[in-house]
Amino acid sequence: MAQSEPRYVADFPHGAVLRDHLDPESGLRVLVVRGPFSFLGYVGVRADHTLAELEDLHFQCHWGITFNGWGDTDSFREPGWYWWGWDYAHGLDHVDYVASLPPEASDEDKALAARMNQQLENLVAEFFRTPDDRQADEDAATEACGDVQLAIPQLEPLPRKKWTVNEVFEDALDVLMELKAGLEQSQTLSVLLTQRYTKPASH
C-alpha cells in the first residue's frame, strides 16, 4: 500500500519550514512551520520595510497574533526579518498532543500529553454541551423560577478543525493579501495627503 502524502501536523518533523512564499510587490513573506503541537503561520518583512518592528501592529489571523519579534540564527525565523506569528492549537482546533510528540519522547512526556488531551476534551465538552444537557438545565431553572422563562442558548457541539498544511498555507496567504491591501490603501492615502499639503495655494 502506497504511503499517503503528508498532510497533518504529526506527519512532519518538528521545526520544519513547510511553506515559504514571498510576495515581491509588498515585500511580505509567509512561512508555515511545524510547531510543537500545531502548525504555525508567520508573516515577515525585511528590516528596511515600513512595517518592520511595529510591535503594536494588529491584523486578523487565526485567533490572533501570538508572537512578534526579530528572526535569529537559532530558529526557523530568518534573521534580518521581523516576524508576526500565530498558531493552530486553540479550543476549536484539533490538537493531539500525544501524536505531536517527537519519537524520542519519554514516558513521562507521553503521560503528560495524554492528560493534556483529556483536559482539552473536557473543556470542549463543557463548552459545547449537548441539547439534552441544556434542556435539563433549562427545566431546572424554570422549575426554580416558577413562571419566569429563561432563554438559554442551545449550542450544538462543533467538530474541531483538523488542519492540513495546504489549508494553513491558504489561510496564511489570506492574511498576507489583507495586509497587502491595507498597505496599498495607506500608501495611496499618504500620496493624496502629500499632494494636498504641497499643492501651491491658488490666488
Residue range 116-158, pLDDT digits in tens: 878 877 776 676 665 665 566 566 555 555 554 445 455 555 5
85 forms beta bridges with 42, 67
Indicate whether 96 pLDDT > 90.
no
pLDDT, one tens digit per residue, over 18-58 is 999 999 999 999 999 999 989 999 999 999 999 999 988 99
Residue 104 and residue 67 share a domain? no
pLDDT value for 175:
97
Residue 36 and residue 84 share a domain? yes
Q: Which residue has the higher pLDDT, 70 or 151?
A: 70
Residue 169 and residue 82 share a domain? yes
pLDDT value for 5:
85
- Asked whether residue 169 is domain-assigned, the answer is yes
What average pLDDT does the segment 46-72 reach?
94
- Angle made by CA atoms 195, 198, 199, in degrees to the nearest 5: 75
- Asked whether residue 2 is domain-assigned, the answer is no
Which range has the top average pLDDT, 5-9, 63-67, 129-133, 143-147?
A: 63-67
Q: Within 10 Å of residue 22's Cβ, how many Cβ atoms?
A: 13
- Asked whether residue 15 is domain-assigned, the answer is yes
What is the rounded end-to-end Cα distance, in angstroms, of the chain? 83
Structurally, the chain folds into a number of domains equal to 2
- Asked whether residue 65 is domain-assigned, the answer is yes
- Asked whether residue 203 is domain-assigned, the answer is no
What average pLDDT does the segment 73-82 reach?
96
The distance of Cα 174 from the centroid of its chain, to the nearest Å, equals 12
> Cell for 5?
502524502
Band (194; pLDDT cuts 50, 70, 90)? low
Residue 85 and residue 29 share a domain? yes
Which range has the top average pLDDT, 30-39, 140-149, 183-192, 194-203?
A: 30-39
Residue 85 and residue 13 share a domain? yes
Residue 129 and residue 100 share a domain? yes
Residue 175 and residue 88 share a domain? yes
Residue 86 and residue 108 share a domain? no
Report the phi/psi class of residue 146: left, alpha or beta, with left for phi > 0 and alpha for psi in -120 to 50: left
Helix (H) or strand (E) holding 109: helix 107-127
Average pLDDT, the chain: 83
pLDDT value for 162:
93
Q: Which residue has the higher pLDDT, 191 or 20?
A: 20
Which range has the top average pLDDT, 58-67, 138-147, 185-194?
A: 58-67
Sheet hosting strand 81-87, strand order edge to edge: 17-23, 28-34, 39-46, 81-87, 67-70
- Asked whether residue 37 is domain-assigned, the answer is yes
Residue 147 and residue 66 share a domain? no
- Asked whether residue 32 is domain-assigned, the answer is yes
- Asked whether residue 110 is domain-assigned, the answer is yes
Residue 88 and residue 13 share a domain? yes
Domain that holds residue 119: 95-157
Residue 30 and residue 67 share a domain? yes
Residue 84 and residue 18 share a domain? yes
